[in-house]
Structure 1
Amino acid sequence: MEEVGVLVVGAGPTGLGAATRLNQLGYEDWMLIDKFDEPGGLACTDVTPEGFLYDMGGHVIFSHYQYFDELIDAAIGVGDAYWNTMQRVSYVWIKDRWVAYPFQNNISALPKEDQITCLEGLVDAKVRVATAQDKPKHFDEWILRVMGEGIANIFMRPYNYKVWAVPTPDMQCAWLGERVATVNVSKAIANVLNNKEEGNWGPNAIFRFPKEGGTGAIWKGVAKLLPKDKQQYGPNMEVTGIDKDAQVATLKDGRRIKYKALLSTIPLDIMCTFTGRPELSSNTTDGLFHSSSHIIGLGIRGKCPHGLKCWLYFPEDNCPFYRVTIFSNYAEKNCPESSKKLPTLCMGDGSDVPDNLKGDREGPWWSLMFEVSESEKKFVNQDPVKLGGTAGTWPDVVRDTIMGAINTKLTTADCEIVSIYHRRLFYGYPTPSVGRNSVLEEALPHLRKHNIWNRGRFGSWKYEVANQDHSCMLGVEAVDNILSGAREMTLEYPDIVNKKKNTELLYLKKGAV
């Protein structure tokens, strides 16, 4: 049996953050394992045969931590030669028009009757908040109190159902923090009267993105900063069992690794089952509910017709996706070089390619990345469907996405699709369900008693601290807790770390490299 001081399971942002901290502090008795062939986890980037890049969702870099900034700069490089710094240009497609994000601050762009409905709801909500005697019991009640019935019905309820794949009453509201913009009623009324657009809300109004390699390049770069002999990758590295009392992890190939401390990014529901608490793992809104994500990409011939738009929101039922990233706008190398010759697979509506458009031809190219959620409460059709031309057979959700792109004016029936991508992530979003906190209050201490620090997007199941910077720091801070008993600020105090770059919490005395 192998023995190690700290066994790190999972080479996504959390595991790599943990390994970085162990290496930085000079603690040598550690090992990092991952069942995939390369690092990145849910922050990886795939490349299609045609040369189009797709992240596993709309990842961008904005940070609450100097430590994180220093680490990714060490991994990628410093400055404009390595990073694109961009202003978010984000809109909601609704009522057959673009409405600036956040929707609730820009109802002036809606038809007059909808403006009136939204304003009436806002006024009612202001009265409701003033007379409320207790906190809202769930997300839906929060929406009504803050925004009113109009915005709830037109945007918030349908959009959030498409994102989370559960109705809003099934979600708590303690997670919100900086994630959802509230409404200034006076300003909303003034914006309607003055027909004014208001944007740039939130912490990611300015963001960074690697010039090359997508988000996955960041984490491959972080892994390269670490000793190669302490990292092991591949299907045989999958953990198939945990003996919590003996402190032994069993791998798929039968290897057994005894550890003093286990820093795991294994989804919490699985870890609870491994450690004899399966009753804590039920996928219900009374417990650890999660959705799955379908990532769908289209590579298209021509120049992008949508200007500098970055990511876009779609609350209506004329398309299956809730969010679209114009991924070609993030970095030029997210698409093949314009000189590369590619055949058209099918037309923009999935139909056959006419004879005059057949054959390999040069670009330029642009690309769209779509996200579709799925859960037991939201069905997604995955039956195989044959598309026209040489596009081949794809799950029905891909065809629905192609048609939804036309319905929402993202593409046209006569555009040329040269690349199609689809990947289903079983673990997509850790839902902040109404019953989540009661499970976390029992599950995480249960594991900690057995020297298991379960951390990360699904490891600790806290969406409010599940961005890349949060996830990385969950690993960093867990190591500090393991080695010195330091408090885990990101895990324990999400509201504090999300308020600003709180320099007291940033490890300024000991940088990332």
Structure 2
Amino acid sequence: MDRPVAPLEGSSKITRRDHRLGTNHASRCTQSRLSRRNHVKQVKVLVIGAGPTGLGAAYQLNRHEGVDWLLCEQSTEIGGLSQSIIDDAGYTWDIGGHVWFSHYDVVSNLLAEILGSDGYYEHRRDAAIQYGSHWVPYPFQDHLQALPGDVRTECLAGLVEAAITAASGSQGPPENFSEYITAAFGIGITEAFMRPYNEKVWAHPLGDMSWSWIGERVSVPDPIAAIRNALGAPKDTEWGPNSTFVYPKSGGTGAFWDALANTLPQERIRLGARAVSIDRENKIVSFEDGATIGYEYLITTVPLDITARLIGDPSLIELTSGLSHSSVHVIGLGVDAAVGERLGDRCWMYFPDPELPFYRVTHFSHYSPANVPAGIDGSSLLIEVAESATMPVDTDDLVDRVIAGLVSAGVLENAEQVSHVWTHRAEYGYPTPTLNREEIVSLALAELGSANILSRGRFGAWRYEVGNMDHSFMQGYEAAARALTGCAEPTLGLDGDR
């Protein structure tokens, strides 16, 4: 079967629009290329990276009149991992399954202000896990009634046994994530879902991961409630901060970041400005085009290990080389309208089966019909496949294996339902919370902070647990406030220094 395939990142023409003003970014990019030829001697705060964290910092800095700041981004696009891409065929794609919900009033208010009351759709989460031929509502551990009888019994028995063991105090605290999930959920739930799914999404041995990051990321079940649910009591489907979420009507997730960037002084945003070295003693950043910019404070949102290499300190490079991350292959499929009709209001699906290459499939056109080009009677799916240094992925036939997997899982009836393919690979997808992560990150951030370098963001601070878009925005927002006033940063739990 012949399917149009959008070229890989870097080889396709990508169109980005300002969805608030109806213009594109060409004029900004041209202005940036011209202005960055001029040497900038000094700014008070230099921000590297125009993703959510960098834009959060810029938004905060712009609120303070008279502060000289500059935001530099190596790409010609705004948004980082949270940007959206319109491919050659007119499909809109996100780099992963991003949805908008927030823990912070400042972000919620800004979202409403930027997008406007009629600029987004509101959704109630409808997510499920495939277990064999069964669909189990998310979270899995709260909906054991959807499982086959024998599996349900094993899951309940394991959960009760784990609760009895915990109450007896006969075991010490778990030493790693693998031990944690067994201790918290019991062997049944662990083997049915928790272990196989987490091994896929993290692409990392669970025994080498900590469990300090769990927080609100994982629903820990109450055994009594689980038994009541399994016996037919009303089920709680509202767990978690993303039980309801919003999504821009057009332009994908990135529409918000584009519009936010357009509220900032354009002369303070430089796109296509790739940092190549950081002189932390003299507080100067050098860029690929030969420009050098001095700073009093540097907020860097690039991955922490890359910041170490930009500085060139062997001890810092060695320290941060102990960090681990996974990459994500994002595959977008344009499919027949019948696929979307069959999925209905289903938002996304999890797949723990190790025989399937993907861990999550998002019903992307359900988020917004505009994610499919006008005039096309179809739907779109966004599929994610994880890989890492320890669990590599053969990319030669990945798209074919993904489509075959979707047919096997029943999401597609046949491969002929696919009419369009788009692919993207994000090298830095998930910052892995390994056992040594906290020690490495704490030492690195402290050392950088002593030189007025604030490394922040999903990979700048390497903390997945505060790596959502709203968390990342607030990391930048709070770091900028710290640079100006020395105040604390509650999102990262950092005390003030003045």
Aligned AA for 2:94?
Answer: D
Whether 1:41 and 2:42 are equivalent positions in the alignment is no
How do 1:215-364 residues align onto structure 2 when only pairs under 5 Å count? 215-234=253-272, 237-275=273-311, 276=313, 277-282=316-321, 287-303=322-338, 304=340, 305-337=342-374, 340=375, 363-364=376-377
- Residue 435 of structure 2 corresponds to which residue in structure 1? 434
Task: Give the TM-score, by structure 2 length.
Answer: 0.88
Q: Verify the 8 A CA contact 2:320 2:444 in the aligned structure 1.
A: no
3-state SS of paired residue (2:402):
helix
Aligned AA for 1:167?
Answer: P
Whether 1:377 and 2:413 are equivalent positions in the alignment is no
Aligned AA for 2:84?
Answer: T
- Return the alpha-carbon distance in structure 1 between the equivalents of residues 445 and 191 of structure 2: 37
- Return the alpha-carbon distance in structure 2 between the equivalents of residues 214 and 97 of structure 1: 31
Which runs of no fewer than 5 residues in structure 2 stay unpaired? 1-38
- Return the alpha-carbon distance in structure 1 between the equivalents of residues 264 and 236 of structure 2: 44
Whether 1:204 and 2:242 are equivalent positions in the alignment is yes
Cα deviations across residues 195-232 of structure 1 (Å, max 9, x unaligned)? 76542211110101101100010100010000011101
- Residue 350 of structure 1 corresponds to which residue in structure 2? none
Aligned AA for 1:120?
Answer: A
- Return the alpha-carbon distance in structure 1 between the equivalents of residues 470 and 336 of structure 2: 34
- Return the alpha-carbon distance in structure 1 between the equivalents of residues 172 and 148 of structure 2: 35
How do 1:501-512 residues align onto structure 2 when only pairs under 5 Å count? none
- Residue 401 of structure 1 corresponds to which residue in structure 2? 402
Aligned AA for 2:333?
Answer: L
Q: 1:22 pairs with 55, 61, 74, which one?
A: 61
- Return the alpha-carbon distance in structure 2 between the equivalents of residues 398 and 36 of structure 1: 26
Question: Measured at CA, do residues 129 and 27 of structure 1 come closer, stay the same or move farther in structure 2, by a change above 3 Å?
Answer: farther
- Return the alpha-carbon distance in structure 1 between the equivalents of residues 69 and 299 of structure 2: 10
- Residue 206 of structure 2 corresponds to which residue in structure 1? 168
- Residue 466 of structure 2 corresponds to which residue in structure 1? 465
Q: Verify the 8 A CA contact 2:92 2:371 in the aligned structure 1.
A: yes
- Residue 486 of structure 1 corresponds to which residue in structure 2? 487
How far is the alpha carbon of 1:75 from its aligned partner? 2.3
Name the count of aligned residue pairs. Answer: 450
Q: Verify the 8 A CA contact 2:364 2:371 in the aligned structure 1.
A: yes
Aligned AA for 1:416?
Answer: Q
Q: Verify the 8 A CA contact 2:326 2:430 in the aligned structure 1.
A: yes
Q: Verify the 8 A CA contact 1:48 1:419 in the aligned structure 2.
A: no
- Residue 131 of structure 1 corresponds to which residue in structure 2? 168
Aligned AA for 1:15?
Answer: G
Q: Verify the 8 A CA contact 2:407 2:415 in the aligned structure 1.
A: no
- Return the alpha-carbon distance in structure 2 between the equivalents of residues 179 and 475 of structure 1: 22
- Return the alpha-carbon distance in structure 2 between the equivalents of residues 154 and 414 of structure 1: 28
Q: 1:98 pairs with 127, 132, 135, which one?
A: 135
- Return the alpha-carbon distance in structure 1 between the equivalents of residues 238 and 204 of structure 2: 28
Q: Verify the 8 A CA contact 1:83 1:209 in the aligned structure 2.
A: yes
Aligned AA for 1:188?
Answer: A
Aligned AA for 2:467?
Answer: A
- Return the alpha-carbon distance in structure 2 between the equivalents of residues 178 and 257 of structure 1: 40
Cα deviations across residues 386-419 of structure 1 (Å, max 9, x unaligned)? xxxxxxxxxx211111111111111111643221
3-state SS of paired residue (1:194):
coil
3-state SS of paired residue (1:423):
strand
3-state SS of paired residue (1:291):
strand
Task: Give the TM-score, by structure 1 length.
Answer: 0.85
- Residue 365 of structure 1 corresponds to which residue in structure 2? 378
3-state SS of paired residue (1:490):
coil
3-state SS of paired residue (1:199):
coil
- Return the alpha-carbon distance in structure 2 between the equivalents of residues 273 and 128 of structure 1: 47
Aligned AA for 1:290?
Answer: H
How far is the alpha carbon of 1:48 from its aligned partner? 2.0
How far is the alpha carbon of 1:137 from its aligned partner? 1.4
- Residue 503 of structure 1 corresponds to which residue in structure 2? none
Q: Verify the 8 A CA contact 1:95 1:110 in the aligned structure 2.
A: no
Aligned AA for 1:241?
Answer: S
How far is the alpha carbon of 1:134 from its aligned partner? 3.4
Q: Verify the 8 A CA contact 1:52 1:419 in the aligned structure 2.
A: no
Cα deviations across residues 209-258 of structure 1 (Å, max 9, x unaligned)? 10110001010001000001110101xx1111111111111111121111
478-487 or 409-418: which moved more? 409-418
- Return the alpha-carbon distance in structure 1 between the equivalents of residues 217 and 66 of structure 2: 36
- Residue 31 of structure 2 corresponds to which residue in structure 1? none
- Residue 96 of structure 2 corresponds to which residue in structure 1? 57
- Return the alpha-carbon distance in structure 2 between the equivalents of residues 319 and 197 of structure 1: 29
3-state SS of paired residue (1:260):
strand
Q: Verify the 8 A CA contact 2:128 2:135 in the aligned structure 1.
A: yes
3-state SS of paired residue (2:305):
helix
Cα deviations across residues 339-387 of structure 1 (Å, max 9, x unaligned)? x3xxxxxxxxxxxxxxxxxxxxxx411010001100012121112xxxx
- Return the alpha-carbon distance in structure 1 between the equivalents of residues 347 and 215 of structure 2: 23
Whether 1:107 and 2:141 are equivalent positions in the alignment is no
- Return the alpha-carbon distance in structure 1 between the equivalents of residues 493 and 175 of structure 2: 22
3-state SS of paired residue (2:70):
strand
Aligned AA for 2:399?
Answer: V
Q: Verify the 8 A CA contact 1:293 1:427 in the aligned structure 2.
A: yes
Runs of 4+ in 1 over 3 A off after TM superposition: 195-198
Question: Measured at CA, do residues 413 and 455 of structure 1 come closer, stay the same or move farther in structure 2, by a change above 3 Å?
Answer: same
Q: Verify the 8 A CA contact 1:52 1:334 in the aligned structure 2.
A: yes
How far is the alpha carbon of 1:76 from its aligned partner? 1.9
- Return the alpha-carbon distance in structure 2 between the equivalents of residues 130 and 428 of structure 1: 37
- Return the alpha-carbon distance in structure 1 between the equivalents of residues 300 and 215 of structure 2: 26
